[in-house]
Structure 1
Amino acid sequence: MTTLPRELSPTVAAVFAAVDAERQRLGVPGAVVAVRSPDAEPWSVALGVRDIATDEPLAVDAVLRVGSVTKTIVATVVLRLTERGELGLDDDILAHLPHVRVPSGVTVRRLLDMTAGLPEYTTEEFMEISHTTPDRVWGPQELLDLAFREPHRFAPGSSWDYCNAGYILLGMLAEHVTGDLVEDLARKLVLDPLGLHDTSLPPRSAAGTSLPDATVRGYHRVGAELVDTTDVNPSWAWTAGNAISTADDLVVLVEALVRGDLLAEETQRARLAGVPVPGTDWSYGLGIANFGGIWGHNGELPGFQAFAGHEPGTGRTIVVLANVDKSTDEVNPADTLAALVRRHLAPGTA
């Protein structure tokens, strides 16, 4: 059992104890949980271990991969470029990148809210290749070429489907119109303005493979086995999911995104005008999701899973980072732990 800090109040300690018990039940080696609430003290707690071989405890300031939470950063970069006049939300992508094999009607807005209908490259076959060639540095065009082997899923604007390929295309677009690397754009337009010094988009090179602290490991679950996939080069996810961050940084990020701190009011309204996600009560805006009243994003890369959400109705923020991608019962561990925290903090239960 993880030893919780003595200074936690009884109420908060009970929440984190329940979360730690669930973490152990789910077979999650380590997790960092950060909670901010207007009616309770702010806390960030590390549970479990950073490395199953050494049993070293995971630190609360551990820098982990956050997967598709990256999309919130990249979308904010693109939205800020629209405010600078370098792009328009309803610009056709072909007006900027005429060589890309997409139909007319694939716009910046439709890439951001995943209504463009692009095919996907992150198939089971591709993920197996990425696991067996961990040092490979993937190029964005290479990823799109893999996606475009398949037919487009639907006519642009006629439906919704989650799509990583669209965010690869947005990364290419941002670099094309500015002449800057997207990791530099993220630093300049999002991360530095918010003071997020432990968050970055790693370079698309061999140098982007390792985490800042090599003692922190991430595990891909294969049946009952945990396979260390920490050092799979994340270039295959690039602007769809290669960011690294801490739980405390993601608290700042998701609260700023939901408030619209970096955007004009009109742009923020457009961002939050979500498209219904079929089969759920969720909606998806411009690089941000509404999970039934809590806004943010989740993410998964081999070895890691993350959830970052802010609930405007209560003022609460919940962030969970896990160093495994699936639980023993094949659910997303960070999402599951975040939902448990949310239930415990609901009125009358905590």
Structure 2
Amino acid sequence: MSTTRTRRRALLGTAVAAVIALGAAAPAAAAEPAETADPVQESLDALVGKELPGAWASVLDADGESRDYVAGVGDRKTGAEPPVNGYGRIGSATKTYVATVVLQLVGEGKVDLDAPIEDYLPKLVRGKGIDGRKITVRQLLQHTSGLPNYTGFITDYFEIRHTYMDPRQVLDLALSHKASFAPGTKWEYSNTNYILLGLLVQKVTGRPIGEQVTDRIIKPLGLKDTYWPGIGEQGIRSPHPEGYAYRKPGAPLVEFTEMDPSWGWAAGQMIATPSDVNRFYRALLDGKLLKPAQLAEMRRTVKDESIPFGWQFGLGLVKIKLSCGGHAWGHGGDIDGYETRDAATDDGRAATVMVNALPSTEAGAVKVNQALDTALCRS
């Protein structure tokens, strides 16, 4: 049975915080013993501020206990903190759900990992140096296809904030540019890969990708706080913190909660709470969604020095090295207004950290990653 405890932001004086950080200890007779600080709460408190207004997180222990945390501001107008276990846009974490559906179809004998995408979407993938007859399903899943990343060609997300974009529209945007490299020769992250995988699922099943994710993952796991927004659905279910974005580097944050996420589609459209994300990754690693052979394929990683933070990409799943030794598996996601970092370990731990703005500096990005590491290593 799972219980939930909420860890609200602790107010520590600067001097006290410094003592804790340095690991110093006062003489036993000098004062009453201080309450033990929570490392996860401290890590969230440390990352919020001008760049990242608010953070909320959920940690699932190996024994099944779930703990929720909040820090900072969830609504800059009212000053309210983020709601406990509030909804957030999970961006590219959507890719793990889509990859899971693709691998389920592999397990059902309906898709071949090493078949060219041409077999399923004939004559669709064509462009300068681009040929669907030479790009396999596996290469799409692991970002070794060489397909250009369509999001790199969207110059202003504020302009398309309320614009519906069809999957074929964003695919055409990508295919109007030349290939980044020959398939299978390098690694490069490209959202275009998952637009094609969404189209693949729809072609094979005859049903919408959002419906397939819902029927194959969300409903069987009872993830009541996870959903694929419908066409035209621009808001986020309550409770949720407001999202914020920068129009350009160095500009002030502005509210960016409502938006049409269709441009993300199978590469990044989903919405969920941190605790539901934890439950998904825990179930995935526990073998509740994939057969052993397909889960093993998912965990086969590409090693490439260009991948940030020392991560290793599998098939819609990322291997993340932990400071406490070993590794975890997750994905994470960035979308205007929200960032998610998530992972689960083979021994049953899981954690998800969300913030209500994208980091504008490398230091900010590192702090969010460190908060996830703390949640998995020190909670």
> Given the two structures, how large is their TM-score scaled by the length of structure 2?
0.82
Q: Paired residues, what number?
A: 336
* Residue of structure 2 equivalent to 1:84: 108
Answering whether residue 228 of structure 2 is matched by residue 187 of structure 1, we say no
Q: State the 1:88 CA deviation.
A: 1.4
* Residue of structure 1 equivalent to 2:45: 21
Regions of 4+ moved over 6 Å:
none
Q: State the 1:25 CA deviation.
A: 4.7
Identity of aligned residues (%): 33
Q: Which residues of 2 match residues 117-128 of structure 1 at below 5 A?
A: 117-123=146-152, 125-128=153-156
Q: State the 1:284 CA deviation.
A: 0.8
* Residue of structure 1 equivalent to 2:85: 61
Structural RMSD (CA): 2.4
1:31 aligned residue (50, 55, 75): 55
Which moves more between the two structures, 21-30 or 68-77? 21-30
Distance 1:41 1:81, change over 3 A: closer
What are the Cα deviations for residues 264-312 of structure 1, in whole angstroms up to 9, with x where unaligned? 1111111111111324543111100001211101100001000110122
Q: Which residues of 2 match residues 136-147 of structure 1 at below 5 A?
A: 136-147=163-174
Q: Which residues of 2 match residues 258-273 of structure 1 at below 5 A?
A: 258-273=285-300
Answering whether residue 234 of structure 2 is matched by residue 209 of structure 1, we say yes
Contact 1:138 1:235 in 2 (8 A): yes
* Residue of structure 1 equivalent to 2:267: 240
1:226 aligned residue (214, 237, 253): 253
What are the Cα deviations for residues 135-186 of structure 1, in whole angstroms up to 9, with x where unaligned? 1100111101111121111211121111100000100111111110111100
* Residue of structure 2 equivalent to 1:305: 339
Contact 1:110 1:156 in 2 (8 A): yes
1:68 aligned counterpart, secondary structure: helix
* Residue of structure 1 equivalent to 2:137: 108
Contact 2:328 2:343 in 1 (8 A): yes
2:168 aligned counterpart, secondary structure: helix
Which moves more between the two structures, 260-269 or 301-310? 260-269
Unaligned runs of 5+ in 1: 346-350
* Structure with larger Rg: 2
Distance 2:378 2:49 in 1: 17
* Residue of structure 1 equivalent to 2:120: 96
Unaligned runs of 5+ in 2: 1-6, 11-33, 322-326
* Residue of structure 2 equivalent to 1:294: 328
* Residue of structure 2 equivalent to 1:326: 359
Contact 1:230 1:303 in 2 (8 A): yes
Amino acid at match of 1:92: P
Distance 1:246 1:40 in 2: 17
Amino acid at match of 2:221: L
Q: State the 1:93 CA deviation.
A: 0.8
Distance 1:295 1:38 in 2: 15
Contact 2:88 2:236 in 1 (8 A): yes
Contact 1:119 1:165 in 2 (8 A): yes
Q: State the 1:51 CA deviation.
A: 1.1
Which moves more between the two structures, 72-81 or 208-217? 208-217
